[in-house]
Structure 1
């Protein structure tokens, strides 16, 4: 038996389970099997729906708080207004509108201030493309460090 196998055998079973991820996103498409968002998708599975009549009621443009694990939604809740304080601090993927940029700090409409660094990965653009009003899709790690910024449709003027 290898050293890695021995270490894994000694861990409690729960230690191998992945923690659920919180996504704060806008739904782009629901085909009844997969939910698609800007730059990502999740399987709908048998997710617990909170405040939603059923999977068919999930419509493009809805802002959702989704708990997911292994790429499958476990709980879906419609966000009627700004995310709760708990949601704002625990998300791993979120969409928000940029209000202002100061150095490496982003001021976002609902999520507040986030700081990026040289390790932050940029998709579809760079810090030079940051303009007030632009929608951003943000990813961060479990420690809250911003790991990725996706700029959807950078060629379009921000709203």
Structure 2
């Protein structure tokens, strides 16, 4: 349906515009259409939808491999060819976490932070990738392990600069 506008007439009370009932009907029709459209917008996007958008936006560079698996449960960004340089700058607008997968053995070092918040690190092992224990920067990871970067007490925007140093 196209938007319905109310005919206000040529001047106040000149009886050339829509009557009250017709004007009210147009208002109701317009709002009914708006509410129907808004109802189709998801309250939240699924993890898979978010990963699809991020995975599409990422661009592979020299020595960097980006993989978005078909199941949509992970985006893996890894250095290829051994010893490649990788940098991450996760930005947090609220408390949260980011996980970095080590496709090969590497050391990740915090280069700095920006904004208000604090950061904590945990790492897993290849044998137990879902089990994390506390660590600090620099964090040495074996191939198949994960580094979990957790931001807390975030006020507005908090960024953590990380770099593969070995």
Normalising to structure 2: TM-score of the pair?
A: 0.25
Q: Whose radius of gyration is greater, 1 or 2?
A: 2
Instruction: Answer 1 or 2: higher relative contact order, Cα 8 Å, separation at least 6.
Output: 2
Higher strand share: 1
